[in-house]
Each structure stands twice: as C-alpha cells, then as structure tokens.
Amino acid sequence: MKKYILWGLLAALVIIQFFRIDKTNPETDPAKDFLAINNAPAEMAEMIKASCYDCHSNEVVYPWYTNVAPISWWIKKHIDEGKEHLNFSTWGDYKQKRKDHKMEELYSEVEHKKMPLKSYLIMHGEAKLDDAQIKEMTDWFVEIGGEGIREHDH
C-alpha cells in the first residue's frame, strides 16, 4: 500500500510540473518608476533594486526554483500580492496621498527590518540590508518623502 501512495505522489508531482506560472513582466514606462521619479543615486538604486524589486516591481527576476511546482505557485502568489501592495514600476501613477502613505510604510518596514522578508533572504543573501544600509535607505526616504514619514512610523 505504501508503495502505491509513493508512486501516486510521484505521479502527482510530475503532473503538476505542466502547470507553469506566467513569468512575463508587463511593459512599463520607465519614467513612472520610483527610482527615476525620485532621482535615486546609483548606489541607492542598486540597493533598492536588490532588496525590493523582485517582489515590488515589474522587473521581477525569476530564480531557477520558480520552475518547480508547487514552489513556483507560492512564489508567484507572493510576488502578485507584493506588487498589488506596492509596485515601484507604477509609482508615477499613484496619487500624492497614496505616495505619502507608501513612503511612510517604506520607512517603517525597512526601519523595523520587516522588509525584505526573511523568507526571501534565505535564497537572496545579496538583498540583506545591514544596519548602515538601513540607516542610509531610511534617511533617503526621509529626504525624498519629508520628515513627516518618521512621525507616522508604526
């Protein structure tokens, strides 16, 4: 009986590999990108791209393990939810009130080390921010978003 269960599980694992995720990044206007709009210095842009853009932009780089279901489904859902919450590629389409709120969230999430997610850092060590980088990034958020974003930190 165990043998049939194992064969059944193996067959199911093989069959689900045919249900691929869509890895197509939508076309976007580079002029609407968060980094372009805020004229990010090169080092800051590199840091934000490495730590944020795979889940919060239309510039997702799908790693090799997104070719394996059901892991790929979980990652795709996570990316879709991340972009729904904040998409750096469409920053220029946000109304000012939403931009202000997102700046507060950016500051808070990075300051409190909630972003990037620990689950993301397991396979993406280059995305990890040390304390100096966190300070540099949050200081830049204040510089572009105004001192008020610190006051709304929660």
Cα 32 from Cα 89, distance rounded (Å): 6
pLDDT the model gives residue 3: 87
How far, rounded to the nearest angstrom, does the alpha carbon of residue 109 sit from its chain's CA centroid?
12
**pLDDT means over runs of 10, the chain (154 residues):** 88 88 94 96 96 96 93 94 97 95 94 92 92 96 82 58
pLDDT the model gives residue 28: 92
Cα 152 from Cα 144, distance rounded (Å): 15
List pLDDT tens digits, range 22-39. 999 999 999 999 999 999
List pLDDT tens digits, range 46-61. 999 999 999 999 999 9
pLDDT the model gives residue 134: 96
pLDDT the model gives residue 146: 77
Q: Under a CB-based contact definition with an 8 Å cutoff, are residues 66 and 23 in contact?
A: yes
pLDDT the model gives residue 153: 56
Domain extent listing, the chain? 22-151
Q: What is the pTM of this model?
A: 0.87
Q: Under a CB-based contact definition with an 8 Å cutoff, are residues 102 and 40 in contact?
A: no
pLDDT the model gives residue 74: 94
